[in-house]
């Protein structure tokens, strides 16, 4: 939706980062009639990919992106332990949707350009000041009315700015072609020290169960653990080929204390707003991109601070539960087993 009568509004916004956070905000600001420049360090939008792209149906709805980037619809999440025993199942109608990540960013970039935004690729920002100065490599400086920092999990610019002390671990995943077709309406998470330290491994079927994404998040030995998963699935269903290796940083929170510093706003992994149990960062982006754009348009940072405050209260609680569950894992697993003895409905975003 383009808000009529507001186009060519003179405010200019500079956005650092052409990932989902930066691009969703850019699209929204343009729809509100503001002028937007997006600076992306990489030479290609959405590349290299670094995300499985699983979101809840509500997160998907909030994104308003249509179905072009959907590559999987899951009705069930299955929890598996070290002995390959299923200890919990969670279902929904559907429970989650898998987005193709490079496709998501490409789609958003096209929408941003169509709405009149400017996208600068291979343009790395080095720092910003709170009054709206954006510094780029090779000494270039631009001045904006507002700046949005969406620099992702590396947080090179946002870390100091928003004072976030975020826990993290490494995630790697590959796409595989399967010899046997598998059920495609469920994804699986694998728990226990052989699969991961401090997180889990996953298997998410795509392409009608003919291919899958196999990944591991762990505090150490991610490559060894990924190889263990590949051997396991080669035995179980046969792997005909492995392609597209991805890796990145999975954040575990807690979220940054403040999302606004002067004329600079943060969003996405730059604020460390991932869901602590799954590392999913797209949920928070879906909640925050509209309030952020509105706050800038109305010159009312309060609008964004309130939305951020409500979200972080929820995430901090999730952070606490996750910490307790991970520190007492055998006990927490038993509890999950009891609670989920029968298939159970759950809010995929709130973990409740
Ligand atoms: C293996 C793995 C699996 C994941 N799976 C899921 C999942 O299933 N569901 C989910 O919700 N989340 C998942 N996540 C988390 C998800 O990837 C992030 O939360 C999400 O990408 C955050 O989006 P963002 O736009 O904030 O950051 P990013 O996607 O990292 O985008 C940031 C962009 O900013 C650019 N940039 C950085 N610094 C600069 C600079 N100085 N100047 C200019 N540009 C810059 C980067 O090149 C990048 O394009 C996963 C993460 C990993 C690592």
DSSP string, 5-44: T-TT-S-EEEEE--SHHHHHHHHHHHHTT-EEEEEESSSS
Torsion of CA 104, 126, 43, 48, to 10 degrees: -50
Minimal-distance CA residue to ligand 1 atom 18: 281
DSSP structure string for 184-214:
SSEEEEE-STTT-SSS-EEEEEEGGGTEEEE
Provide the token pair at 183. Answer: 């059920």
Q: What is the pLDDT of residues 63-86, one digit of tens each?
A: 999 999 999 999 999 999 999 999
- What is the DSSP-derived secondary structure letter of residue 130? T
Residue 352 has pLDDT above 60, yes or no: no
- Mutation choice for ligand 1 from 21, 48, 51, CB with most ligand atoms inside 8 A: 51
How do beta strands 125-128 and 133-136 pair?
antiparallel
Query: In whole angstroms, what is the distance from residue 6 CA to residue 9 CA?
Result: 6
Half-sphere exposure at residue 126, Cβ-oriented, CA atoms within 13 angstroms: 8
How far does residue 269's CA lie from ligand 1's centre (Å)?
6
How do beta strands 186-190 and 201-206 pair?
antiparallel
Q: What is the pLDDT of residues 142-181, one digit of tens each?
A: 999 999 999 999 999 999 999 888 999 999 999 999 999 9
Q: What is the pLDDT of residues 262-287, one digit of tens each?
A: 999 999 999 999 998 899 999 999 99
pLDDT value of position 7: 43
pLDDT higher at 139 or 6 = 139
Q: Per-residue pLDDT averaged across 117-138, rounded? A: 96
pLDDT value of position 261: 96
Q: Which residues line ligand 1 (CB under 6 A)?
A: 16-22, 39-42, 50-55, 124-125, 150-154, 156-157, 171, 173, 215, 248-250, 268-270, 274, 279-283
Residue 194 pLDDT level (bands cut at 50, 70, 90): very high
Residue 2 has pLDDT above 90, yes or no: no
Domains in the chain, CATH or no CATH each: 12-166+254-345 (3.50.50.60)
pLDDT value of position 5: 37
Q: ω into residue 231 within 30 of 0, thus cis? A: no
pLDDT value of position 319: 86
Average pLDDT, the chain: 92
How far does residue 333's CA lie from ligand 1's centre (Å)?
30
pLDDT value of position 66: 95
The answer to whether the complex's ipTM is over 0.95 is yes
Half-sphere exposure at residue 321, Cβ-oriented, CA atoms within 13 angstroms: 16
> 134 has which bridge partners?
128, 142
First CA to last CA distance, the chain: 33
Q: ω into residue 254 within 30 of 0, thus cis? A: yes
Minimal-distance CA residue to ligand 1 atom 32: 152
How far does residue 152's CA lie from ligand 1's centre (Å)?
5
Structural contact between residues 150 and 28, judged by C-beta atoms closer than 8 angstroms: no
pLDDT value of position 4: 38
Structural contact between residues 111 and 20, judged by C-beta atoms closer than 8 angstroms: no
Q: ω into residue 94 within 30 of 0, thus cis? A: yes
How far does residue 213's CA lie from ligand 1's centre (Å)?
17
Query: In whole angstroms, what is the distance from residue 139 CA to residue 126 CA?
Result: 9
How far does residue 22's CA lie from ligand 1's centre (Å)?
10
How far does residue 50's CA lie from ligand 1's centre (Å)?
7
Provide the token pair at 68. Answer: 């072009």
């Amino acid at each position: 939706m383009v808000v009529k009568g507001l186009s060519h509004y003179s405010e200019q916004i500079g956005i650092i980062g052409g990932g989902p956070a930066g691009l969703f905000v850019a699209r929204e600001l343009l729809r509100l009639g503001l002028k937007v420049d997006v600076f992306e360090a990489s030479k290609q939008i959405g590349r290299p990919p670094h995300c499985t792209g699983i979101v809840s149906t509500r997160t998907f709805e909030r994104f308003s992106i249509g179905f072009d980037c959907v590559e999987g619809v899951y009705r069930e999440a299955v929890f598996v332990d070290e002995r390959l025993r299923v200890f919990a199942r969670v279902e929904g109608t559907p429970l989650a949707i898998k987005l193709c990540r490079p496709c998501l960013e490409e789609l958003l970039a096209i929408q941003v350009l169509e709405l009149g935004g400017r996208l600068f690729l291979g343009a790395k920002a080095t720092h910003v000041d709170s009054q709206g100065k954006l510094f780029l490599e090779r000494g270039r400086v631009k001045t904006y009315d507002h700046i949005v920092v969406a620099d992702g999990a590396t947080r090179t610019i946002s870390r100091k700015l928003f004072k976030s002390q975020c826990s993290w671990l490494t995630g790697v995943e590959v796409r595989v072609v399967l010899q046997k077709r598998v059920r495609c309406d469920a994804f699986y998470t694998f728990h226990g020290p052989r699969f991961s330290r401090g997180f889990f491994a996953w298997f998410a079927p795509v392409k009608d169960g003919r291919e899958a994404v196999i990944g591991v998040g762990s505090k150490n030995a991610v490559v060894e653990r990924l190889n263990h998963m590949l051997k396991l699935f080669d035995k179980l269903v046969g792997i005909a080929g492995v392609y597209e290796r991805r890796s990145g940083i999975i954040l575990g929170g807690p979220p940054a204390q403040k999302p606004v510093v002067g004329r600079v706003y943060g969003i996405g992994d730059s604020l460390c707003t991932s869901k602590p149990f799954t590392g999913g960062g797209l949920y928070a982006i879906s909640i925050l991109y509209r309030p952020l754009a509105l706050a800038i348009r109305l010159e009312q940072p309060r609008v964004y601070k309130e939305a951020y405050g409500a979200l972080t209260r929820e995430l901090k609680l999730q952070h606490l539960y996750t910490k307790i569950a991970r520190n007492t894992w055998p006990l927490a697993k038993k509890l999950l087993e009891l609670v989920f003895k029968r298939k159970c409905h759950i809010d995929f975003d709130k973990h409740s």
